[in-house]
Chain A
Amino acid sequence: MIGVAAAGLLLFHGRIAGISGIAGGIFRREPGDISWRLMFIVGLFTAGAVWSQFFPLDYAVEIERSTVALIVAGLTVGIGTQVGSGCTSGHGVCGIGRLSKRSTVATVSFMVTAAITIFVVNEVLGGSV
């Protein structure tokens, strides 16, 4: 389904379905390039709002994270995806799907640091930050 949505965005809009890229472009404020991005994100919101009515457990958190940890994590993801120009969808799915060497390197990079971070949180800090 993720693949189908990404393929649809390519065939109809000619765009890469990278969420961090779609979000980043809103702040660049290029004329005529904002509304489709906003609508895509409204679509994401709506999917969550509707789907969670039927399948609330699909959005269960079940990990212990303080507000501070969530804020630091959010800022890190926001800045990191812009500096590294992509996230799981843009690099991990579309980029690897395009057989892009850049995206493959980026995906390895964020997978490795995610694994290290989770190792530290779970094994060193006892699973809660």
Chain B
Amino acid sequence: MKVKIGAFLGGALFGVGLAIAGMTQPAKIIGFFDFFGNWDPSLAFVMLGAIVVYTPVYRWAIRTWQRPIWAPAFSLPTRKDIDARLIVGSAIFGVGWGLGGYCPGPALTSIGAGSQEALTFGASMLVGVGAYQLFMRVRERRTGGAVDPQAAAMVDG
């Protein structure tokens, strides 16, 4: 129960953070990348700010904590190799981010805010996510059911 409430509060805090940061305003996202128009650098400070908070906590936790408070172990990415999937997949994501002005978190929280655009974008996004995961599951089953979560699942975030 506390795990679920914790996850809910985490999502809520994350959602409010995105709104305050301006990440839920597609025009602001477009403005950040619009180097040839009215460039709005504020998104850089949003990401930098989040990283500055996160990095010391992460380093302290993985060094000194045996385990997280509510889970038996940390579930952290282990892969270090850089492959084509990583680069091409991210490149595809970037095209969609630039086209729609939403990345996944802002899209989902903006659906809650009642945005029609976010709903259209977000529903399509979940279709894309679901289709890919379904495709991977079918493929895992075909290849003998050897499910390697590290290879197939989200390994970075």
Contact = CB atoms under 8 A, between A and B. Distances in A.
Contacts of A129: 99
B77 interface: yes
19 contacts: A2-B21, A3-B53, A5-B13, A6-B53, A10-B61, A19-B104, A19-B108, A41-B108, A43-B7, A60-B25, A63-B26, A65-B117, A69-B99, A74-B96, A80-B94, A88-B23, A89-B14, A102-B79, A116-B98
Nearest to B92: A80
Given A21-B157, A41-B11, A85-B157, A92 B87 contact: no
Given A1-B20, A113-B94, A13 B33 contact: no
A91 B157 contact: yes
B58 A48 contact: no
Contact of B77 (A16, A24, A110, A123): A16
Contact of A43 (B12, B70, B126): B12
Nearest to A84: B89
A98 B47 CA distance: 13
Interface residues of A, number: 105
B112 A45 contact: yes
Interface string B66-110: 011111011111011110011111111111111111111101111
B7 A77 contact: no
A28 B30 CA distance: 32
B16 to A, nearest CB: 5
Interface string B49-66: 111111101100100010
Interface size class of B (residues with CB under 8 A): 35 or more
A19 to B, nearest CB: 4
B121 A88 contact: no
Contacts of A103: 156-157
Given A12-B69, A24-B129, A74 B90 contact: no
Contacts of A20: 93, 104, 129, 154, 157
A92 to B, nearest CB: 6
A36 B7 contact: yes
B125 A78 contact: yes
B25 A61 contact: yes
A110 B53 CA distance: 23
Given A16-B156, A96-B51, A35 B4 contact: yes
Interface in A39-74: 39-49, 51-52, 55-56, 58-63, 65, 67, 69-74
A25 B149 CA distance: 11
